[in-house]
Structure 1
Amino acid sequence: MEKQLYYVNLNPISMEDISPTPVNDGQLIEYEIEATLTEKKALEDLLSEVQAHDLELGNLFTFRHFDDEQVDTDRNEYQRGLNDVYEALYRLGTPKTKAQIKEIHMVNDDAYPLDNKTERDTPL
């Protein structure tokens, strides 16, 4: 399957939107990825799942927010999902996207040792 260029922003309101055209909004950080239709669908599903969990955390009409242990569990689960999103963006990302994600330290350097070597050996 042929890969196409897509743009992803992590705006909490429209996180699952993956667009073939850039938004060009200076307020948003947009990540470029190259993905097949199958990879794009998998990323959309992951984004939707993380966004749905984020909305659950924002539900103020329950008393769960008084339970510190439950709140910590929810936050950790959301953070794991967000980490998965950044790992997927890094894996599918263009060199520019990979540099952006490494800059904010949202990828496990040990998971991509060849990228580290390549980036150290290649001047920017």
Structure 2
Amino acid sequence: MDERKLPFYVNPKGDINTVPADESIHLFEVHANEGEIEQLRGLFEKLHEHNKKEGKDLFSSSTHFDEFNSDLDRRQDNELMFEIYRQIYMLGTEKTKAEVEEMGVIPKLNELR
């Protein structure tokens, strides 16, 4: 397996590209090997799947209005978001790290854990 780190550009929706795409969308530049980028892709996929599952329950009174399940869903989302931003930070360029630090997202998500 090739362990060279290559540049990738990640947008907040979870798209990961090898070239910067639309300049109107904020991108985080990271440098990662194939294993690291697949791990990040997997985290975004888990988040998207979890959000799809939550959407299906929108009209189910047995789950949608259950505060315990709602808290559990929020906690799961927060855990996934924490891990995504942690990965972006760890793999990010100095500029990306500064942007994530400026956002204050990691300490806020960490408080919600």
TM range (shorter): 0.7 to 0.9
Distance in 2 (alpha carbons) for counterparts of 1:10 and 1:44 = 12
Query: Equivalents in 2 of 1:104, 1:19: separation in Å?
Result: 22
Pairwise CA RMSD: 1.3
Alpha-carbon shift at residue 58 of structure 1 (Å)? 2.3
**3-state secondary structure, aligned to 2:7:** strand
Identity percentage of aligned residues:
31
Q: Deviations over 1:19-67 (max 9, x none)?
A: 00112342x3211000001111111111111111122222224231111
Residue 84 of structure 1 aligns to a residue whose secondary structure is helix
Flag as ranges the 4+ runs of structure 1 deviating above 6 A.
none
User: Structure 1 residue aligned with 2:60, among 59, 62, 79?
Assistant: 62
Q: TM-score, normalised by structure 2?
A: 0.83
Q: Secondary structure at the residue paired with 2:106? A: coil
Aligned 8 A contact 1:8 1:19 in 2: yes
How many aligned residue pairs are there? 103
Unaligned runs of 5+ in 2: 108-113
Match of 2:4 in 1: 2
How far apart, in 2, do the equivalents of 1:22 and 1:53 lie? 27
> What 5-or-longer segments of structure 1 have no aligned partner?
109-124
